[in-house]
Amino acid sequence: MDQQTQKLRLNALIALVVGSMIGGGIFSLPQNIAEHSAGGAVLIGWAITAVGMLALAFVFQTLANRKPELDSGVYAYAKAGFGDYMGFSSAWGYWISAWMGNVGYFVLLFSTLGFFIPAFGHGNTPLAIGCASLLLWGVHFLVMRGIKEAAFINQLTTIAKLVPIVMFIVLAGVAFKADIFTMDFWGEQTPALGSVMDQVRNMMLVTVFVFIGIEGASVYSGRAERRSDVGKATVIGFLGVLALLVMVSVLSLGIMTQPELAKLQNPSMAGVLKHVVGEWGAILISIGLAISLLGALLSWALLCAEILFATAKDKTMPAFLKKENANRVPVNALWLTNVMIQVFLLITLVSAGNYTTLIYLASSMILVPYLWSAAYSVLLCVRGETYERASRRRIKDFLVGAVALIYAVWLLYAAGPKYLLLSALLYAPGIVFFAKAKHEQGQVLFKHWEKVIFAGVVVAALVAAYGLYSGALTL
């Protein structure tokens, strides 16, 4: 197939960004947010998230324009700025975050279908996992037909899933009551929420998860028809999704109280709309969620395969992952991704972990790639690389990059020790792939400072393993 036929235009890139970010998270947002925060803390949390994520969006836009030769986004920036192991770790963490989010999406999808078919239960019954597995491999073979064909289908599902969300916002806007929203505004009557700072910190991983995918266009920069479209798609997609997320969470707090929202079963948007218009509202949201998740599963199947393929092309990952089929789809990368999803779907049959645990862990895994991307943007400004000396643009980009970096560090703090330790447990095994790639090139495994970083990862992983064994840590 002619490579030009695989080039993606601005609308396709925007759909990839929006389709990646709007998955199951927005449909569970009212409960996920209210579980941790009252109205005042929600507004503060969204303000911090808006500034931090917008800074990250501008970072990806800036790096796409200033480093056009880095065609695979988040991982490439970490490698260019901080060496092979940091680049590999970013790619590995991003990949795990992506497919683990897909596992969560499968569980949520069939939990939602349990509204119509009780045998699906909470999405982790044998029947639900069996059907999820069939769907997984259906998506697999659809993506095998070609990147452009799958991207086109993603555009259709992106449009389709926005309809019930917009309807929810309109109906919730009409039903919104200010006195309900301001009731116990700072959560003082609910001591379990903690201080306002605790409430803001505890909602952060939820907001990170719903924005995972903001870098989607950057991952596909090598396939963009016009390089300038990558940055445009990132910012346009982010602003649109931000508006939807804030309205869904804030309007819900003006319809039901924080304790009522916190007790809802997910997808909690269905419970909120049922409260407003009756049973048909819950049905509408359930159907919308099913469409949304199908589109998100497709988006992330594409992104997972692409990140492994890109890392294999520049020898960060083993060479077998860069194999493509006749439709220019990275088949081995796709197979590895979906086998891992299948394994973890089976684990959900016996694990006590739930959808929330999966999204928190997926969010934690994405923090390292975001951190190093922001750090690389700052590094370029400090070095003056690609900038004229003392230019205004350099100062502006430095400030934006610094805000993004501070936000990324704040997210690490918000994640807390539990999810950081569990993340280390998933980062550590990646050394097998890194070592194989280095062996293929006849290179030494680590530089001196990389040994120290890897040793820290191993220690944290051992602590996590012992914690799981002793019961001090739980999934």
Q: What is the average pLDDT across 320-336?
A: 89
Give the list of residues 6+ apart from residue 349 with CB closer than 8 angstroms, or none. 124, 126, 129
d(CA 389, CA 328): 42
Q: Please indicate, yes or no, if residue 85 is contained in any of the structural domains.
A: yes
Give the list of residues 6+ apart from residue 459 with CB closer than 8 angstroms, or none. none
pLDDT digits (tens, 9 = 90+) for 7-61: 778 887 787 777 667 766 788 889 989 988 999 999 999 999 999 988 988 898 7
Q: Please indicate, yes or no, if residue 385 is contained in any of the structural domains.
A: yes
Start-to-end Cα distance in the chain: 45
Q: Is the pLDDT of residue 382 over 60?
A: yes
Q: Please indicate, yes or no, if residue 144 is contained in any of the structural domains.
A: yes
How confident is the prediction for the chain on average, in pLDDT? 84
324: which strand partners? 330
Coil, strand or helix: which one is 363? Answer: helix
Token reading at 180: 């309900």
8: which strand partners? 224
d(CA 15, CA 159): 8
Q: Is the pLDDT of residue 5 over 50?
A: no
d(CA 170, CA 183): 22
d(CA 52, CA 371): 12
Q: Is the pLDDT of residue 148 over 60?
A: no
325 band by pLDDT with thresholds 50, 70 and 90: confident
Give the list of residues 6+ apart from residue 94 with CB closer than 8 angstroms, or none. 74, 75, 307, 365, 366, 369
Would you say how long the chain is, in residues?
A: 475
Q: Please indicate, yes or no, if residue 438 is contained in any of the structural domains.
A: no
Q: What is the average pLDDT across 222-243?
A: 79
Q: What is the average pLDDT across 124-137?
A: 91
Q: What is the average pLDDT across 411-431?
A: 87
pLDDT score, position 161: 72
Q: How many CA atoms lie within 13 A of 375 on its CB side?
A: 19
Q: Please indicate, yes or no, if residue 108 is contained in any of the structural domains.
A: yes
pLDDT score, position 459: 95
DSSP per-residue letters across 246-299: HHHHHHHTTTS-HHHHHTPPSSHHHHHHHHHH-HHHHHHHHHHHHHHHHHHHHH
Residue 65 sits in a domain whose CATH number is: 1.20.1740.10
- Contact between residue 272 and residue 253 where contact means Cβ atoms under 8 Å apart: no
Neighbours of 299 (CB within 10 A): 29
Q: Please indicate, yes or no, if residue 473 is contained in any of the structural domains.
A: no
pLDDT score, position 66: 86
Q: Please indicate, yes or no, if residue 308 is contained in any of the structural domains.
A: yes
pLDDT score, position 253: 95
Give the list of residues 6+ apart from residue 47 with CB closer than 8 angstroms, or none. none
- Helix (H) / strand (E) element for 68: namely none
pLDDT score, position 133: 94
d(CA 37, CA 45): 9
Q: Is the pLDDT of residue 319 over 50?
A: yes
Whole-prediction pTM: 0.82
Q: What is the average pLDDT across 373-402?
A: 88
Helices then strands, counting H and E runs in the chain, come out as: 19, 0
Give the list of residues 6+ apart from residue 369 with CB closer than 8 angstroms, or none. 74, 75, 78, 90, 91, 93, 94, 97, 215
pLDDT digits (tens, 9 = 90+) for 250-269: 999 999 999 999 988 778 89
d(CA 65, CA 374): 15
Q: Please indicate, yes or no, if residue 451 is contained in any of the structural domains.
A: no
pLDDT digits (tens, 9 = 90+) for 267-293: 889 899 999 999 888 888 888 788 777
412 phi, psi to nearest 5 deg: -60, -40
Domain range for 11 is: 3-417
**How many domains does one find in the chain?**
1
Q: Which residues of 39-77 are buried (b: 16+ CB within 10 A; e: fewer)?
A: bbbbbbbbebbbebbbbbbbbbbbbbebbeebbbbbbbb
d(CA 112, CA 130): 15
pLDDT score, position 23: 66
Give the list of residues 6+ apart from residue 226 with CB closer than 8 angstroms, or none. 9, 10
pLDDT score, position 137: 93
454 band by pLDDT with thresholds 50, 70 and 90: very high
pLDDT score, position 3: 44
Q: What is the average pLDDT across 411-415?
A: 83
